[in-house]
Amino acid sequence: MLPFFNLNKNLFTFLFFFIFLIIGIAIFPHFGISIDEDNTRINGLSSLKYIFEILSPELIENSDKFTNIPSLHEYREQGIGAIFDLPMAFMEYIFNISDSRQYYLLRHFFNYLIFFSSVCFFFNNKKKI
């Protein structure tokens, strides 16, 4: 009888996380915009501009995206980490996103996916203790 309860527990856990994922995907477009999201976007674009200056300067010249973006050395908030902002800026550049709503939706979607995967890992780690 014990394996039956274990099977139900695993099914319940799977259903819980599946519903949790679906609800998050359904509501992420309704997340609010925080006061520093413009700054973090500029931080990511400034870091991306710096990388492009080193690797391929013609990418900066051929793109309108970096016109009003300060260089990394001139950016006053360069002490902020770019571990999340740089990949988001790169995705904005690759997908040629020019609408700010689309950029923030992309950012909120990936932010939720990181949160969701963190919850899954913490739950999995809790089971092993």
Report the SS3 class of residue 70: coil
The mean pLDDT value for 47-73 works out to 85
The answer to whether residue 79 scores a pLDDT higher than 50 is yes
* CA distances from residue 23 to 16, 49, 110, 113 in whole angstroms, order as listed: 11, 36, 15, 12
Percent pLDDT > 70 in the chain is 89
Percent helix, strand, coil in the chain (nearest 5)?
Answer: 70, 0, 30
Percent pLDDT > 90 in the chain is 43
* CA distances from residue 28 to 39, 63, 111 in whole angstroms, order as listed: 21, 29, 9
Domain extent listing, the chain: 36-128
Q: What is the pLDDT of residues 66-76, one digit of tens each?
A: 888 888 788 77
Q: How confident is the model at residue 119 (pLDDT cuts 50, 70, 90)?
A: very high
pLDDT of residue 115: 96
Q: What is the pLDDT of residues 17-34, one digit of tens each?
A: 999 999 999 999 998 888
One-letter amino acid at 30 equals: H
